[in-house]
Chains A and B, each alone.
Chain A
Amino acid sequence: MSLRILRPGLLTTVQDQGRHGYQRVGLCPGGAMDPVSLALANALVGNAPDEAALEITVIGPELAFEREALVAVCGAEFDSAFPHNRPVLAPKGTRFNLGRAKRGARAYLAVAGGFAVEPVLGRRSTYLPGRFGGFEGRALKHGDVLPLRDKRAARRFSTLKNTRDGTVRWSAPPLTLPDREPILVHVIEGQHFASFDSGSQRAFFDTVWSVAPDSNRMGFRLSGPPLGRPQADEILSGPTCLGSVQVPPSGVPIALMADHQTTGGYPRIAEIASADVARLAQLAPGGKVHFARCSLEIAGELRRDARERLESALRGIAWEYQRK
């Protein structure tokens, strides 16, 4: 009565939209690296936007459905034939291997009704460094069996218009995938921007940075020229946020991602505009990015545009769910 993991893939975890309110005791919100694609996947199967789904990273898992389920895969495109960006009624016994990511790095697999894993501190996200949340606080592995909460996949599917062969003839738009690389990511100058030498300030914006192989859910290390400060004084530790770009003494910038530290002692050269974090999260190691300076006003506009695109897509999906 559940989803069986035959092969786990590179890193498959249960994630929702994250736990908020604990940053003052050092716990970051965590949650999906690409919350936009998670919201789309949830909408496609009729879930609330913050329901927990599987976050699948670069190499997909092989899965078997031990009962009928309504499934949607959004975010990165993987090379399997399993339809992306649309609701799919997977009959009992359905088995598929998602393969490798062709475009983007992270896909979200949502099932109607969500996974029956216990919330921890109110949420179902897996926080890997603290080994809690999600499925036993860890990445999925061979033989894991995730119970599904909902038994009415077929009924939910039957409320969709225009269905054929267990799916639909339309698809939701991918909103966070790169059309080409390097992707352009907007940043706001960080608290310590002015303390970097002018060459480093220029290099930060002129360089096509490459996501280093040792990047993870905590942070993306960016390969490029080392950045430096003329007075390499220690700064007083202060708060960080999702998208802070820290520069440790090595000069290698680190963009803080979902499982970031909540405070830090390294100078912050920039913060990534919140509208662009999900797009950065879709870069696999080796992916290319360059940064453009923006004002708070522009960041606000980018955010409103991104939300409008998401809400428009969600409205389209909701319309398809109204009874014929």
Chain B
Amino acid sequence: MPLGDSAAYVEFSTTLDLEVNSVVQRLALAILKLKVPWVRDVVPALGGVALHVDLDNAELPGNPLEAALAIVNDSMKAALAAKEDAGREVELPVCYEPEFALDLPEVAKKAGLAPAEVVHRHAAAEYRVLMMGFAPGHAYMGGLDAKLTVPRRASPRAIVPAGSVAIANEQTVVYPYAISGGWNVIGRTPMVLFDANRARPSLLWPGDRVRFRVITRDKFAELAAKT
């Protein structure tokens, strides 16, 4: 379907489905590999992939949206043949101590678990970056333990500190900047999620497999001093 006259969005699922998203990630990589000169951005989303087109490119075909759809179709075979889990493995150190875990007591109550058990379950799972957005470097990750499925906070916080690790519904996120947000904060990483001056500005990329490693507040301070 068109996304305005400068982008096309191919949606495979209207609900969150990790299998579908895995195909979406491989599809996005297959399309990126083609290096089509008039495709500016390939954006994997939760249930589909968007192609943003440079309408001023000299090589732009007469019907860009049709051509974009053809690229998606042609790349599908490569995507399905590709090995699963195209992304890299990333480990993020997270401190779950109370001063960082603003909503941990609330989450524990809603989930019917002890706070330590919430932390254990959150750090034990492997996640995958399903989609990025909301802010640069902000990754929506799937793979959350079903026991930790809690709704968003009734009222969003005006400022969530940078590095906050939060959960809602079936996903976990890490806030790259201090911004407003309604997810339940249960820890914080000292790592800088997005730095425009790095060669690879974002720590997380779509399709990455992510694990959280529990660290102490001393280790947090030590790592924070280095970044």
Contacts and interface: CB of A to CB of B under 8 A. Distances in A.
Contacts, number: 144
B132 A238 contact: no
A26 B203 CA distance: 12
A133 B196 CA distance: 8
A23 interface: yes
Nearest to A129: B135
A241 B1 contact: no
A243 interface: yes
A188 B4 contact: yes
A1 interface: no
A274 B4 CA distance: 7
B5 A238 contact: no
B206 A121 contact: no
Given A236-B13, A238-B46, A261-B133, A24 B201 contact: no
Contact of A121 (B55, B134, B201): B201
Contact of B5 (A23, A237, A264, A299): A299
A27 interface: yes
Contacts of B2: 188, 271, 296
Contacts of B190: none
Most central of A21, A130, A191 by chain B CB within 10 Å: A130
B79 to A, nearest CB: 15
B197 interface: yes
A117 B52 CA distance: 28
A23 B3 contact: no
Contacts of A188: 2, 4-5
Interface residues of B, number: 49
Nearest to B40: A20
B54 A238 contact: no
B50 interface: yes
Interface stretch (B100-108, B110-118, B120-128, B136-144): B136-144
A191 B3 contact: yes
Given A191-B1, A239-B43, A296-B65, A26 B135 contact: yes
B135 A241 contact: no
Contacts of B47: 236, 238
Interface in B80-120: none
B73 interface: no
Interface in B172-227: 177, 179, 194, 196-197, 201-202, 204-206
B131 interface: yes
A236 B170 CA distance: 12
Interface in B30-46: 40-46
Interface residues on A, range: 35 or more
A238 B134 CA distance: 11
Given A133-B196, A261-B134, A23 B4 contact: no
A273 B1 contact: no
A123 to B, nearest CB: 10
Nearest to B54: A20
A239 B131 CA distance: 9
Nearest to B64: A300
Contacts of A170: none
B202 to A, nearest CB: 4
Contacts of B206: 24-25
B15 interface: yes
Interface string A271-298: 1111000000000000000000000100
A273 B179 CA distance: 30
Contact of A23 (B11, B52, B201): B52
Q: Which 6 A-B pairs have the closest CB atoms?
A: A263-B133, A271-B4, A239-B50, A299-B5, A23-B41, A27-B136
Interface of A: 20-27, 29, 120-121, 127, 129-130, 132-133, 188, 191, 235-244, 261-264, 271-274, 296, 299-300, 303, 307
6 contacts: A25-B204, A191-B1, A191-B11, A238-B11, A244-B3, A274-B4
